[in-house]
Amino acid sequence: MKILMCVPNVSEGRDQATVDRFADLIRSQPGVKLVDLSSDGDHNRSVYSYLGEIDAVLAATKAFAAAVIDAVDMTVHTGGHPRNGALDTVPFIPVGDTTTEEAVAVAKDFGRWLGSRGVPVYYYEDAATRPERRNLVDVRKGEYEALPEKLKDPFWTPDEGPAEFVPRSGATQVAARFPLVPFNVNLRTEDIDIATQIAHAVRNLNGGFRYVRAIGLELTGTGMVQVSMNLTNYTQTPIPRVMEAIKAEAARYGVSVASAELVGAVPLGALEEVVRYYLQIHDFSMSQTVEMNV
């Protein structure tokens, strides 16, 4: 069966009624299952993970996008997580027999539709139209506040939609991509500089792990800070390898790890290495689980 997952990131994580309303909208869409909702007030961001057959996911995403663009106003948005727009990122992820090419076709269909509604759209990852737009970090550099000037530069003409600043919606980044793992580690300190230094140590941009993107974020009112990460290829950079590196870096500052978070739906394969490493079952396979044999 051809299955597609979509994991839109919305720049709203503080108004619970709005967050829930978007979730209910997805649940109401035929042929689509909402498998996870992660919302964070410090980030002021919510991540919705849902899947279904290709046409159903595309239709649901259009309905979802229309509701988000109508409700979220970027002119009053603040939060710790990088963002360019109200509907900030919309990645489509092939599952099962679905090919990357099919996911790219859906991303382009959705991007054209959203652009026609007056939202600037940039394609990234496997949907990117040129190499310098493949990396989300590059596309989103400067964030929402930089868009007024950025959109005047022909180099940053959107792939779809108007080449002008739209204050309320900002810009949306649309992708087809391998399933990344959003992984956050919370540290027992309020010193944001420590989280930032650890993020620099583990991320690819500064010579760390090839498939890790990371930033340091404050968690207001918790007495903690966070190393917020995306593991863009969990097969090449497994979760335990990153976790142990962060523990070691934190120890250098006399800081301990308080907790960790997985944001959104996570592939079973990403957890396979966790079991192998921490339980020392070196030949463990997810095919041993009951659920994989039902």
The whole-number mean pLDDT for each consecutive block of 10 residues of the chain, a chain of 294 residues, reads 94 96 97 93 93 97 98 95 96 93 98 98 96 93 96 96 97 94 96 97 94 93 94 94 97 97 85 92 86 72
Domain limits, the chain? 2-176, 181-293
Q: pLDDT at position 289, please?
A: 83
- Which pLDDT belongs to residue 294? 67
Phi and psi for 132 in degrees, rounded to 5? Answer: -70, -5
Q: What is the pTM of this model?
A: 0.82
Write down the pLDDT at residue 227.
Answer: 97
At a CB cut-off of 8 Å and minimum separation 6, what does 272 contact?
A: 284, 285, 286
Q: Which is catalytic among the residues 43, 81, 200, 282?
A: 81
- The span from the CA of 278 to the CA of 144, in Å, is 40
In this prediction, residue 264 carries a pLDDT of: 77
Check residue 126 and give its pLDDT.
95
Query: Residue 87 has what pLDDT?
Result: 98
Which two structure tokens, joined as six digits, stand for 211?
A: 């498939």
CATH topology of domain 2-176: Formiminotransferase-cyclodeaminase; Chain B, domain 1 (3.30.990)
CATH number for the 181-293 domain, one of 3.30.70.670, 3.40.50.1370, 3.40.50.300, 3.30.300.180?
A: 3.30.70.670
Confidence at residue 96, expressed as pLDDT on a 0 to 100 scale? 83
Confirm whether 81 is a catalytic residue. Answer: yes
